Chain A
Amino acid sequence: MKNHKLLSLAAVVVIFAPFRVIAADVKVIANGGVRADMISANELKSVFLEKSNSLRDGTYVEPVLEKDGPVHEAFLHEYLAAGTDDDLQSYYRALVFSGRGSMPKQLGSDAEVVAYVARTKGAIGYVSAETAVEDVKTLTIVRENNDAQRRLITRVEPDYPDTLKRLNIGGIVRLQLTIGPRGNVEAVEVLGGNPILGESAAAAVKQWVYAASRSRTIAKLSIPFDSHH
């Protein structure tokens, strides 16, 4: 009887087990030949689901994935909303076997992704926010809330305090900004990341200028601070 109860409990635990907690922060990197500095979350999803193979500016891009691990899980959960990794693999296989697409490159580690992106024209991938990236560019991810992506006219890079850089303290800062109809940034809220870096990023973003629009826009940004760069 006791065993039955234990078995039932085990079954319930297995069936309703929560998904792995996604703790990893990811940054999106692209080959140096990719002109864009920013990419919208929608665009990113479209590229990685092979619904699009170019960015808004017309640059050809080719997605590169990590095989598995927390960075891959975090990217899948945050940007692709494609269920589990097995669901994503089935999605790609469906493209391959119906003549609609190819199996994207899948590599085993952050270092391999960085190396591949650096040498491959149009390659776009993701790695842990902590990974040192050289010879590739890190793209800022824009999340649109209530309007189409506003074109950025003036961009001011945030200061990276020397002390933090020397101590290898970096990562991703997430911001929410309110862009006024005339294109000025009216308000910035730090949603996550190191508070000192957040302050620095907010100060820079306040100086950004976007194209004018008929309405006010709320946008979310992820700004990477890479201590190895």
Chain B
Amino acid sequence: MHKRIFRLVSVYLCFQAGLITLKAQEFKLLDRTVQIHGFVSQGFIYSNDNNWLTMNTSQGSAAFTDFGLNMSSQVTDKFRIGAQGYDRNLGQLGQYHPALDWAVADYRFKSWFGVRGGKVKTTLGLYNDTEDEDFLRTFALLPQSVYPTDLRDATIAHLGADIYGTISLSHRLGFLSYTAYTGHRSDSIYSGYPYYLSSFGAQIKSYGGLQYGGDLRWNTPLKGLLIGASRLNEHITGKGSAINPFDAGLVPYSESSKADWTNQFYGEYVVGRFRIDSEYRRYWRHQELFSGSSESFADIRGWYVSGAYRICKRFQIGSYYSHYTISNIVAGALSAFYPPATDTNLPANHDYDKVVTGRVDLNKFWNVKVEGHFMDGYGSGPYPNGFYTQVNPKGLAPNTNALVLKTSLNF
């Protein structure tokens, strides 16, 4: 009870702090302008049956809070620095353990060539690098088939470097923007995948590894049309301990990538008050488990189509259809416990989500969203996607309807 009151007071104070600083987001330091920006959001989800996103949503849950604060400064004409702290509590995930979200030193030699290093947000599709900032969009939750919020740590940032630039094309062909990156990904032990593994008795001590990839996007000559493609390769290692399924004893746990890649293709079209987005992501994951005694092959595919319309300055509506499937085969010693799961018609191997949203902007900085999710399937196969057995001990029903309320403040 005390913990709950503490959380509510914390959220209230953050909102108040945000309001106080709304007019104080810039100051001078050593004759350089320093900008300060931040956000805080609070959500509530009620679902009719299954518990979703590690929250006790079937009873109604407000364990859906996140906030961030950043500072940045243009030090010279070409050199910029900045950093952002981020914290969240999403059911059993995050649990208010703050993290450095990004911290970047960025040198732009030319518009067509720049370098940024540090902890850098990963460019992957339209929204990966801004997926925490729901106030940027109509929807409270991004399509979970492509941007699973419980697995944000898997793709959100890397400790390394990017090269990037924008090239203006002749013959009125618009411009091309590119990003290429390499670095190290490090998941919090309070993120979705370690939590998922804990359902098998595994306790993860570390999870992460090399990431490298690129993104190419084309602002086409057709006003408002953007298309692009992203690629991400990874070599991930997870270490910890687990309960041996053969004799229930505690043994060292390890998993490492044999092949791990993501391809993403996307398009966005903005015309007047309309916005239409669509993305397709395929994630191929081949893991070696328990030092090679078993292997897991997962083919995860997601896509969505979304549309949003601004009826007036303060009110937007939107809808999307999100399609997620997973098929998986386990080979080796563990195959006796995990039969092939390749039939994507089964609710355990898919999640088709139909969504409608209304967004009201109370002022320039504060919005409220009401969103309905109508889900067919729960996609709780060998890689998580929102539904976890730990918070659904009686099993999962094939369909879930959920009401999401969310409010966000940013400055």
The docked-state distance in angstroms from the alpha carbon of A103 to that of B272 is: 23
A109 at the interface (CB under 8 A from B): no
Question: Which residues from chain A contact B104 at a C-beta distance below 8 Å?
Answer: 99
A147 at the interface (CB under 8 A from B): yes
Question: Which residues from chain A contact B166 at a C-beta distance below 8 Å?
Answer: 46, 51-52
We find that the number of chain B residues with CB closer than 8 angstroms to chain A is 53
| Residues of chain B at the chain A interface (Cβ within 8 Å) | 25, 35, 37, 39, 68, 70, 72, 74, 77-78, 80, 82-84, 102-104, 106, 108, 110-111, 116, 120-121, 129-130, 132-133, 135-137, 166, 168, 170-172, 175, 177, 223-224, 270-273, 275, 309-313, 361, 364, 410
Query: How far apart are B177's CB and chain A's nearest CB, in angstroms?
Result: 7
* Partner of B270 from A14, A15, A46, A82 at Cβ < 8 Å: A82
Given A60-B77, A87-B270, the answer on whether A97 and B111 have CB atoms closer than 8 Å is: no
The docked-state distance in angstroms from the alpha carbon of A15 to that of B311 is: 6
The docked-state distance in angstroms from the alpha carbon of A87 to that of B224 is: 11
The docked-state distance in angstroms from the alpha carbon of A32 to that of B381 is: 63
A93 at the interface (CB under 8 A from B): yes
A22 at the interface (CB under 8 A from B): no
Given A14-B312, A87-B275, the answer on whether A102 and B175 have CB atoms closer than 8 Å is: no
A81 at the interface (CB under 8 A from B): yes
Question: Which residues from chain A contact B137 at a C-beta distance below 8 Å?
Answer: 90
What is the chain B residue whose CB lies nearest that of A143? B172
* Partner of B68 from A97, A100, A146 at Cβ < 8 Å: A97
Contact A144 B270 (CB under 8 A): no
The docked-state distance in angstroms from the alpha carbon of A83 to that of B276 is: 12
Question: Which residues from chain A contact B80 at a C-beta distance below 8 Å?
Answer: 101-102
* Partner of A102 from B74, B132, B361 at Cβ < 8 Å: B74
Question: Which residues from chain A contact B132 at a C-beta distance below 8 Å?
Answer: 97
Interface SS of chain B: strand
Question: Which residues from chain B contact A96 at a C-beta distance below 8 Å?
Answer: 35, 37, 70, 72
A145 at the interface (CB under 8 A from B): yes
Per-residue interface assignment for chain A, residues 94 to 112, with 1 indicating a CB less than 8 Å from any chain B CB and 0 otherwise = 1011111111000000000
Known: A86-B310, A99-B120. 16 other contacts (CB 8 A): A15-B309, A46-B166, A51-B111, A83-B275, A84-B273, A87-B270, A87-B275, A93-B135, A96-B35, A96-B37, A97-B133, A98-B121, A98-B130, A99-B103, A102-B35, A147-B171
Residues of A125-152 contacting chain B, CB below 8 A = 144-148
Contact B273 A54 (CB under 8 A): no
Contact A97 B224 (CB under 8 A): no
We find that the number of chain A residues with CB closer than 8 angstroms to chain B is 36
The docked-state distance in angstroms from the alpha carbon of A97 to that of B136 is: 10
What is the chain A residue whose CB lies nearest that of B172? A144
Query: How far apart are B24's CB and chain A's nearest CB, in angstroms?
Result: 14
What is the chain A residue whose CB lies nearest that of B170? A148
Question: Which residues from chain A contact B74 at a C-beta distance below 8 Å?
Answer: 62, 102
A122 at the interface (CB under 8 A from B): yes
Contact A46 B39 (CB under 8 A): no
A42 at the interface (CB under 8 A from B): yes
Residues of A43-94 contacting chain B, CB below 8 A = 43, 46, 51-54, 60, 62, 81-84, 86-87, 89-90, 93-94
Query: How far apart are B180's CB and chain A's nearest CB, in angstroms?
Result: 15
Given A93-B135, A93-B136, A99-B120, the answer on whether A147 and B84 have CB atoms closer than 8 Å is: no
Contact A54 B275 (CB under 8 A): no
The docked-state distance in angstroms from the alpha carbon of A42 to that of B220 is: 12
What is the chain B residue whose CB lies nearest that of A14? B311
Given A52-B166, A94-B130, A98-B102, the answer on whether A103 and B37 have CB atoms closer than 8 Å is: yes
Question: Which residues from chain A contact B310 at a C-beta distance below 8 Å?
Answer: 84, 86
The docked-state distance in angstroms from the alpha carbon of A145 to that of B312 is: 35
